[in-house]
Amino acid sequence: MANATVADLQKLAQKATFDAAKIRSDFPILQEKMHGKPLVFLDNAASTQKPNVVIDTIANYYRSENANIHRGVYRLSEIASEKYEAVRETVQQFINADSEREIIFTAGTTDSINLVAASFGQAFIKSGDEIIITGMEHHSNIVPWQLLCDRTGAKLRVLPIDENGDLVMEKLPEMINDRTRLISVVYISNSLGTVNPVHEIIDLAHAHDVPVLVDAAQAVQHQSLDVQQLDCDFLAFSGHKIYGPTGVGVLYGKEKWLEKMPPYRGGGDMILTVSFEKTTFNELPYKFEAGTPNIAGVIGLGEAIKYIENIGLPNIAEYEHTLLDYATEQLTSIPELRIIGTAREKSAVISFVVEGVHPHDIGTWADRDGIAVRTGHHCTQPVMDFFEVPATTRASIGVYNNRADFDALVNSLKEMIKVFC
């Protein structure tokens, strides 16, 4: 390694910190048994488990640091405020935002998208305007735009997908026109695992002065995100997908947009002055954070981010890609099984159907073997309609999963097929 670069040495240092067995031991719930069998948790796209450091941090907050933030002059409130605001800096550095003013704490990805739909929509969308989404969006990136279109008379347009689960990118240039006001796109599909070409979408949109919102709910836990390098205008993610608590999330927005957008909700903390005649609003980011926030959730999110940063997202991505390849190979060895979603680039999600067995029966059977998989439409009913299936079974990968987890799933499926088929 005499000619090793700094990047090479950093990568080696990161590899040295990746210990799959140690990581697994950090999650106490993985020691539990379900129906008398070791828990195999493969529903990470719905919600991830929490490491001890996140659980302990939240418990410690309520045990010894609990107070409302920003307005108290006593020491306990100052401690809570300092811990809360420190996480804003953690998030800003984590996604490389230009400023902490661009980090809005929300209740999650859904709340973040609704914030943009309501506030950006009020400021910039009118009758006849168009918003572009894709055919693989989660309902949370469809319904807020439909509601906005109903209020304003704007039109929602959908970039189609193909039979592999890839976007039909050649259609996008002809869909963008002088009425297009926003493109909102999922980075990684929660039901197909497709990794979308968001760089290409953003470049194309910006060539027409169209801003882009990226739904990163299924990306932030699997790969490094750099909002300045992406040049996205908005980006949303949830705490519970990244080994943090439920009920907390982040909206990143470029300051130039956030400054022009009106408040989303009214209440405490988002104001400077209030009279019965007029209210003046607080500066960023507080303009969008009305009322007492999820203080413990934000502090827990900060610890979750530090936890995965210590492992290293490049290490996580490399490990999970290897596990995804193994899982795909093992599952496709079952003749009766068909994978839904075979995009060129995938991450952490395998959806499948088994000929002659309803996905709900698969989920129930797997549960009896201690295996947690998701069954249903995964809040992507248009995707199910496109592939002409009522539902799928979805196995999704977290940092603590291993080959034995998928061996258990494959063995369970083979036993099930003997009974059902």
Three-state SS for 288?
A: helix
Contact 17, 311 (CB under 8 A): yes
Residues in the chain: 421
Contact 373, 42 (CB under 8 A): yes
Distance CA 161, CA 324 (A): 22
Write the burial class of residue 196 (CB in 10 Å: 0-12 exposed, 13-18 middle, 19+ buried): buried
Distance CA 46, CA 313 (A): 20
Write the burial class of residue 84 (CB in 10 Å: 0-12 exposed, 13-18 middle, 19+ buried): buried
Contact 401, 327 (CB under 8 A): no
**CB neighbours (10 Å) of residue 19?**
12
The partner residues of 194 in beta bridges, in order of sequence, read 346
Could you confirm whether 379 is annotated as catalytic? Answer: yes
Contact 239, 246 (CB under 8 A): yes
DSSP 120-179: HHHHH--TT-EEEEETT--GGGTHHHHHHHHHH--EEEEE-B-TTS-B-GGGHHHH--TT
CB proximity list for 343: less than 8 A, separation 6 or greater:
164, 165, 166, 189, 192, 193, 194, 195
Distance CA 242, CA 414 (A): 32
Nearest 10 degrees: CA dihedral of 46, 49, 53, 58?
Answer: 60
Distance CA 302, CA 4 (A): 33
Catalytic residue among 149, 232, 379, 421: 379
Residue 178 tokens read as 């002088």
Q: Alpha carbon of 100 to those of 103, 117, 175: distances in Å? A: 5, 22, 34
Positions marked catalytic:
379
